[in-house]
């Protein structure tokens, strides 16, 4: 074990495993806020990190995301790992950089279905990193066992949290779906849906589509069209009145949406049913 400084404001300890240890070499360190911090590499290493404060912009292969205070992120080997501090809000983070022992980490990643996981917002538990950092800093004799057990426990915790988050998200999507169904005569925007669920637009659209195979706004419009079809079939209420009844922006918007989902204009649809 030895101590080193990087060219950035970091404290890093180097770990060398003994024969038989599952991890052969690793860097364990803390990156302090530095507006110039930037790393770019394509290497056969895992980087497992926790953000204390600030923001870190991360490109992993072709995917880009922002890790903030309380977030977990993991960069996988053999792809571009490019990340840097937000210059206006530089991050402080703690990390494991696994350079020797990839089969051990890969085995855990596969066992816990984390091969496509990069980012877990709101992880809020730096304990696994801190225990190892303090142990290697203090040259504790049983560090190797603590290190690989903590990595195992950490990835197990990540998998459990993802399952919990997924279950919560599905429940939230079901609540949103029911809300849309109860409010079909109102005008509801994607911003309203985000406020209701506490999600951003991209996350909301992604999770709703994964759950119901459509977007929330597309589903909402389909509800309106389905309700409007029944009125066109059974009444002589005017097209403009139906448009207003279901809170379309105007008759043009209603007619275009109706034709998109049914293949016919509202007038054509009504004439068809009147001739049956």
CA distance 274 to 235: 10
By the 10 Å C-beta count (0-12 exposed, 13-18 middle, 19+ buried), 215 is classed as middle
Find out whether 147 and 16 touch, Cβ atoms under 8 Å. no
pLDDT at 146 (0 to 100): 95
CA distance 119 to 73: 4
For residue 85, the SS3 value is strand
Q: What is the pLDDT of residues 89-148, one digit of tens each?
A: 999 999 999 998 789 999 999 999 999 999 998 899 999 999 999 999 999 989 999 999
CA distance 34 to 90: 6
pLDDT at 276 (0 to 100): 59
Domains (ranges, CATH) in the chain?
2-164 (2.60.120.280), 183-276 (1.10.10.60)
Higher pLDDT: 165 or 147? It is 147
Q: Which tokens hold the place of 40?
A: 């770019």
Its pTM stands at 0.71
- Mean predicted lDDT score pLDDT of the chain: 92
Q: Which residues are bridge partners to 39 per DSSP? A: 83
pLDDT band per the 50, 70, 90 thresholds, residue 165: confident
Alpha carbons within 13 angstroms on the beta-carbon side of residue 266 total 27
Strands 25-31 and 72-75 come out as: unpaired
pLDDT at 39 (0 to 100): 93
Residue 81 has pLDDT above 80, yes or no: yes
């Amino acid at each position: 074990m030895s101590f080193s400084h990087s060219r950035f404001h970091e404290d890093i300890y180097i770990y060398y495993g003994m024969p038989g240890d599952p991890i052969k070499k690793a860097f364990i360190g803390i990156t302090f806020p530095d507006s110039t911090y930037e790393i770019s590499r394509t290497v056969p290493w895992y980087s497992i990190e926790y953000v204390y404060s600030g923001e870190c912009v991360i490109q992993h292969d072709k995917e880009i995301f922002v890790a903030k205070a309380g977030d977990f992120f993991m960069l996988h080997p053999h792809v571009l790992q490019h990340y840097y501090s937000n210059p206006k809000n530089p991050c402080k983070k703690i990390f494991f950089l696994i350079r020797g022992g990839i089969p051990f980490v890969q085995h855990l990643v596969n066992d816990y279905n984390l091969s496509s996981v990069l980012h877990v917002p709101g992880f809020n538990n730096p304990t696994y990193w801190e225990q190892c950092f303090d142990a290697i800093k203090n040259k504790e004799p049983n560090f190797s066992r603590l290190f690989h057990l903590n990595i195992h426990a950490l990835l197990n915790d990540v998998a459990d949290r993802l399952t919990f988050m997924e279950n919560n998200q599905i429940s939230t999507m079901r609540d949103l779906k029911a809300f849309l169904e109860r409010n079909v005569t109102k005008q509801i925007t994607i911003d309203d849906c985000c406020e209701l669920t506490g999600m951003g637009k991209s996350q909301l659209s992604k999770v709703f589509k994964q759950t119901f195979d459509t977007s929330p706004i597309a589903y909402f419009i389909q509800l309106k069209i389905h309700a409007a079809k029944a009125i066109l079939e059974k009444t002589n209420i005017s097209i403009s009145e139906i448009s207003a009844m279901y809170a379309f922006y105007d008759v043009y918007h209603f007619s275009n949406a109706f034709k998109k989902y049914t293949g016919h204009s509202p007038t054509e649809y009504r004439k068809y049913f009147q001739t049956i």
